[in-house]
Amino acid sequence: MAIRDLQILLIEDDTHIRSILTTALAAAGAIVIPATRGKDAHRIASESKLDLVLLDLGLPDMDGVALIPLLQQACDAPIIVISARFQEQQKVAALDAGADDYLTKPFGIDELQARMRSTLRRSGRATPRPSRSRYEHQGLSVDFDTHQVCLAGKPVHLTPLEFRLLAVLVRQAGKVITHRQLLREVWGPHHEEDDHYLRIYMRQLRSKLEANPAQPRFLLNEPGVGYRLFVE
């Protein structure tokens, strides 16, 4: 999906940033609907057909993190957070609340557009293909039915837990999955704090899937936040 076809809700109370982004995205052909307050944004999300939401976190009437679940109830467009909050816990909070990606201000318009494209590719891939039982990309193939994993055509033997960890990352390839989300999905809700499980199993997975585990090609670390499966 090209940016020129998009209807974008831009939630940003800073007049200067709002105007720069609106101009740049409109120049790329998108239709930008601006909102400065959370309440208005929620109403627009309920009434409009949106393809993407760009969300600042410091809003005059509410915290953007609290707005994320409300937006998700109102529409199914992916949400990219654009915020000056740069601390890891703040990124984790937004991603855990359901944001699809996070961009720290200041950022360039090219980077924003690249993140927009990758978020849209991902959300397009995740929804309309129900029988996606196989992932194949960059020499890595994962069969969700047989649990077989191959690297450059060669089978890789994974333990059931290693497979589950890889499967969570592969199903949302490209997206940062927080430590907490990974622990919950792989080990269960009582293990959300057990970061050491993740470290151990990620090391094992890298040793099986990466040519050089110290410089991983697939299983990327987002320091303090989580992991993502790299897709170019």
Binding footprint of Ca ion on the chain (CB under 5 A): 13, 56, 58
Q: How far is the CB of 13 from Ca ion (least distance, A)?
A: 5
Beta-bridge partners for 8: 32, 52
Indicate the residue among 62 and 151 with the shorter CB distance to Ca ion. Answer: 62
Indicate the residue among 56 and 101 with the shorter CB distance to Ca ion. Answer: 56
Indicate the residue among 38 and 226 with the shorter CB distance to Ca ion. Answer: 38
Q: How far is the CB of 38 from Ca ion (least distance, A)?
A: 11
**Which single residue brings its beta carbon nearest to Ca ion?**
58
Question: 56 burial class (0-12, 13-18, 19+ CB within 10 angstroms)?
Answer: buried
Long-range contacts, stretch 22-30, CB < 8 angstroms, 24+ apart:
24/109, 28/3, 28/4, 28/113, 29/2, 29/3, 29/4, 29/5, 30/3, 30/4, 30/5, 30/6
* 32 phi and psi angles, rounded to 5 deg: -110, 125
Q: Are 77 and 8 in contact (CB under 8 A)?
A: no
Q: How far is the CB of 59 from Ca ion (least distance, A)?
A: 6
Q: How far is Cα 143 from Cα 120, in angstroms, rounded to an integer? A: 23
Q: How far is Cα 71 from Cα 39, in angstroms, rounded to an integer? A: 10
Q: How far is the CB of 82 from Ca ion (least distance, A)?
A: 9
Indicate the residue among 11 and 142 with the shorter CB distance to Ca ion. Answer: 11
Indicate the residue among 60 and 128 with the shorter CB distance to Ca ion. Answer: 60
Q: How far is the CB of 222 from Ca ion (least distance, A)?
A: 23
